[in-house]
């Protein structure tokens, strides 16, 4: 199975591109693999990644956006027949079953249901290179987070979130201490996990808000620069880069 | 009355002729371990039962050696969490050595998820795609994140969670015990709130039963853990039961040791 894109402008075929690389870039810059010289196209507009048998289209933060079948997308798994719109140009995605690599029959279901281990080498190959800078997230080097007080007597001060658990509340054992009649002794907890930082509300009349939204019983993943509020104290969460 | 209630159930499923999953619980020590073995012949069973048995033993012995809930200043993790992680790493070496010594066990491996409850806290260590969920009030959340190819792609934003569930490669595990010398276990610690129900399971459940169905089942049977575990296993078998299915359910019953504030006492919160 191979893949190609057919570039068209106002319905006229301009050229065809084989997707034979792991990464195919689309943009106005001459260095891009699919170079479209039109002002409606950003210098690096989008890219296409081949991962195993999947082909994924990703908008690279273009000014005018990328559409697939007239829907705006940021990421999209391409299917045969999809039409990508970039500015005024379209790219049709075509799957070609060629003679050299005959279409492999899908493996029997029972085989794929079996859990298999994949070696680290094979895994690196399959994961290709889309996010080298992100590889830490799979490893032990968990990013370090901070809480900075944006109001109250400690305004400007930061607390390092090094521990696996950081409690917020008015109790003596809380690292982030917040006073107030309605604040719970252990009002909330921030947990540090391999998947990132999470915050959970635990107790007290005063609820915790993240970016203005009151937390429910479900833990919430904290993103860089999220605003956390409890009682009259406002804090911001940071990830150390 | 015990502070926690635990139930462990494992089932061969419909399509397999033997069960490579293994589960064990120790209510007195607040320990639960679940492993999903893989490998030819009976090697998968050997790997998973070794993992469960050895981790259980290491934890029981290790937990006696330090007071509850003591923090390790260097890492910011509790001694319990570090013990859980170290036990997993130790067992990895044992499995590798066994596989080398016994040709019939060559290539065996296993996932594992370990939970230790202490005070008002929980420490979880895991390797592979066996999971822990938390049902708190009406919300179901993931405590662990799979070490699978598909989960790594989701984390990198290449796939949505929905794509992941439908993917043909969802069973490719990127980390397991018995594969490489230096295995890394993910460790999560959290506060266990009274009323929380934790659910540990093998992928025989999660591959065929969506999270929402798990949530509704747990909500419906939250007062009867036995029935809840059996219903979850029935759901997986009704969906074809392609793999072995294991479920451990843990309910946190004992209140926090610390005193409650005036308002929470007043309002029963």
Q: Which residues of A touch B152 (CB under 8 A)?
A: 123, 127, 138
Spatial CA neighbour of A72 closest among A84, A82, A60: A84
Cβ contact A16:A7 at 8 Å: yes
User: Residue B44's closest chain A neighbor by CA?
Assistant: A115
pLDDT above 70: residue A109: no
CB nearest B136 (choices: A130, A186, A218): A218
pLDDT score at A103: 38
Percent of chain B at pLDDT above 90? 65
Which of B31, B42, B38 lies closest to B8 in space, CA to CA?
Answer: B31
Residue A154 has a pLDDT of 85
CA distances from B184 to B91, B95, B126, B181 (A): 12, 15, 9, 10
Give percent of chain A with pLDDT exceeding 90.
Answer: 25
Cα nearest neighbour of A58 on chain B: B158
Residues of B in contact with A127 (CB under 8 A): 149, 152-153, 156
- Strand order across the A196-201 sheet: A176-177, A165-169, A188-193, A196-201, A220-221
pLDDT at position A39 is: 84
3-state secondary structure of B16: coil
B240-249 confidence digits (pLDDT tens): 999 999 999 9
Residue of B nearest to A108 (CA): B168
Confidence check: pLDDT of B19 > 50: yes
Claim: this prediction has a pTM higher than 0.90: no
SS3 for A75? strand
Query: Average pLDDT for residues B220-239, to the nearest whole number?
Result: 96
Asked if A51 and B158 come within 8 Å (Cβ–Cβ), the reply is: yes
- Shortest Cα distance from B126 to chain A (angstroms)? 11
Evaluate whether B56 touches B139 at the Cβ level (below 8 Å).
no
Least confident of A39-53, B19-33, B46-60, B112-126: A39-53
The answer on pLDDT for B45 being more than 90 is yes
**Of A46 and A156, which is predicted with more confidence?**
A46
Give residue B150's pLDDT band: very low, low, confident or very high (50, 70, 90). confident
- Statement: residue A114 has pLDDT above 50: yes
pLDDT band at B21 (very low <50, low <70, confident <90, very high): very high
What does the pLDDT read at residue A100? 42
pLDDT of residue A22: 83
Best of B92, B261, B266, B269 to disrupt the A interface (most A CBs within 10 Å) is B261
Spatial separation of the C-alpha atoms in residues A5 and B5, rounded to whole Å: 58
Decide if pLDDT at B92 tops 70. yes
Who has greater pLDDT, A121 or A73? A73
Output the pLDDT for position A124.
59
Question: What's the confidence (pLDDT) of residue B262?
Answer: 45
Residues of B in contact with A189 (CB under 8 A): 190-191
| pLDDT for position B123 | 94
Closest residue in B to A161 (Cα) is B76
Q: Span A93-104, mean pLDDT?
A: 58
- Inter-chain residue contact A202 with B191, CB threshold 8 Å: yes
Query: Which contacts of A122-128 are long-range, i.e. CB under 8 A and separated by 24 or more positions?
Result: A123/B149, A123/B152, A123/B172, A123/B174, A126/A51, A126/A52, A126/B149, A127/A51, A127/B149, A127/B152, A127/B153, A127/B156, A128/A22, A128/A23, A128/A49, A128/A50, A128/A51
Tell me whether residues A164 and B189 touch, CB distance under 8 A.
yes
Task: Give the pLDDT band of residue A126 (cuts 50, 70, 90).
Answer: low
pLDDT higher than 70, residue B193:
yes
Task: Give the nearest partner residue to A117 out of B145, B176, B262, using CB atoms.
Answer: B176
Mean pLDDT of the region B182-209: 93
pLDDT of residue B12: 96
Under 8 Å between Cβ of B140 and B211: yes
Q: Is the pLDDT of residue B62 over 60?
A: yes
**Helix, strand, or coil here: B102?**
coil
- Average pLDDT for chain A: 81
**What's the ipTM?**
0.73
pLDDT at A23 over 80: yes
Lowest mean pLDDT among A37-46, A154-163, B7-16, B251-260: B251-260
Q: How far is B60 from chain A (nearest CA, A)?
A: 22
3-state secondary structure of B85: helix
> What does the alpha-carbon distance between residue A35 and residue A28 come to, in Å, rounded to a whole number?
6
Q: Average of pLDDT values for B21-49?
A: 91
Q: What is the distance between the alpha carbons of residues B70 and B80, in angstroms, rounded to a whole number?
A: 8
Domains annotated for chain B, with CATH where assigned, are 4-258 (3.60.40.10)
Determine, for residues A140 and B149 on separate chains, whether the beta-carbon distance falls below 8 Å: no
- Closest-approach residue (CA) in chain A for B162: A77
B189/B121 Cα distance (integer angstroms): 7
Which of A74, A137, A164 to probe the B interface (max B CBs under 10 A)?
A164
Residue A48 CB neighbours (<10 A): 25
At B269 the pLDDT is 38
pLDDT mean over A114-142: 52
Q: Choose between A127 and A131: higher pLDDT.
A: A127
Instruction: Please determine, for residue B227, whether its predicted confidence score (pLDDT) is greater than 90.
Output: yes
- Mean pLDDT, residues A209-222 taken together: 90
Interchain CB contact of A216 with B (< 8 Å) = yes
The arithmetic mean of pLDDT across residues A165-180, rounded, is 89
In terms of C-beta density within 10 A (0-12 exposed, 13-18 middle, 19 or more buried), how is residue A191 classed? buried
CB–CB of B206/B246 below 8 Å?
Answer: no
Q: Which helix (H) or strand (E) holds B203?
A: helix B203-206
Would the CB atoms of B139 and A216 count as touching at under 8 Å? yes
Residue A87 Cα to chain centre, angstroms: 24
DSSP state, residue B14: S
Of B71, B78, B180, the CB nearest to A120: B180
Res A173 pLDDT > 90: no
Q: Using a CB–CB cutoff of 8 Å, tell me whether A110 touches chain B.
A: yes
Alpha-carbon gap: A44 to the closest alpha carbon of chain B (Å) = 18
């Amino acid at each position: 199975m191979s893949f190609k894109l057919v570039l068209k402008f106002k319905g006229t075929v301009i050229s065809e591109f084989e997707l034979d690389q792991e990464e195919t870039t689309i943009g106005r810059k001459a260095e891009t693999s699919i170079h479209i010289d039109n002002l409606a196209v950003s210098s690096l507009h989008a890219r296409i990644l081949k991962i195993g048998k999947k082909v994924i289209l990703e908008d690279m933060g273009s000014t005018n956006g990328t559409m697939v079948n007239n829907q705006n997308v940021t990421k999209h798994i391409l299917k045969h027949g999809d039409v990508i719109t970039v500015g005024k140009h379209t790219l049709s995605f075509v799957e070609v079953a060629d003679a050299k690599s005959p279409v492999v029959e899908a493996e029997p279901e029972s085989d794929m249901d079996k859990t298999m281990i994949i070696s680290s080498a094979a895994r690196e190959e399959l994961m290709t290179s889309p996010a080298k800078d992100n590889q830490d997230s799979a490893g032990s080097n968990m990013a370090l987070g901070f809480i900075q007080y944006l109001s109250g007597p400690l305004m400007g001060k930061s607390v390092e979130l090094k521990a696996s658990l950081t409690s917020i509340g008015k109790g003596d054992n809380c690292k982030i201490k917040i006073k107030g009649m309605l604040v719970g002794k252990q009002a909330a907890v921030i947990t540090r996990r391999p998947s990132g930082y999470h915050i959970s509300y635990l107790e007290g009349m005063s609820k915790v808000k993240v970016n203005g939204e009151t937390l429910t019983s479900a833990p919430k993943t904290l993103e860089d620069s999220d605003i956390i509020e409890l009682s009259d104290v406002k804090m911001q969460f940071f990830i150390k880069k | 009355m015990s502070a926690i209630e635990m139930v462990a159930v494992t089932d061969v499923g419909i399509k397999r002729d033997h069960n490579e999953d293994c589960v064990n619980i120790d209510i007195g020590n607040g320990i639960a371990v679940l492993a999903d073995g893989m490998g030819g012949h009976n090697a998968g069973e050997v790997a998973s039962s070794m993992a469960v048995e050895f981790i259980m033993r290491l934890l029981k012995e290790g937990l006696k050696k330090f007071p509850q809930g003591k923090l390790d200043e260097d890492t910011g993790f509790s001694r319990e969490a570090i013990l859980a992680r170290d036990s997993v790493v130790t067992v990895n070496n044992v499995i590798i050595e066994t596989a080398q010594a016994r040709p019939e066990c060559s290539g065996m491996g296993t996932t594992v998820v370990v939970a230790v409850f202490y005070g008002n806290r929980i420490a979880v260590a895991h390797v592979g795609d066996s999971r822990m969920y938390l049902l708190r009030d009406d919300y179901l959340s993931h405590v662990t994140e799979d070490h699978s190819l598909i989960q790594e792609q989701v984390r990198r934003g290449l796939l949505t969670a929905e794509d992941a569930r439908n993917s043909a490669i969802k069973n490719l595990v990127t980390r397991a015990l018995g594969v490489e010398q230096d295995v890394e276990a993910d460790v999560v610690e959290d506060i266990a709130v009274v009323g929380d129900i934790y659910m540990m399971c093998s992928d025989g459940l999660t591959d065929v039963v969506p999270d929402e169905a798990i949530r509704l089942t747990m909500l419906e049977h939250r007062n009867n853990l036995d029935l809840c575990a059996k219903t979850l296993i029935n759901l997986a078998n009704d969906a074809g039961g392609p793999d072995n299915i294991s479920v451990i359910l843990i309910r946190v019953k004992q209140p926090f040791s610390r005193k409650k504030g005036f308002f929470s006492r007043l309002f029963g919160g």
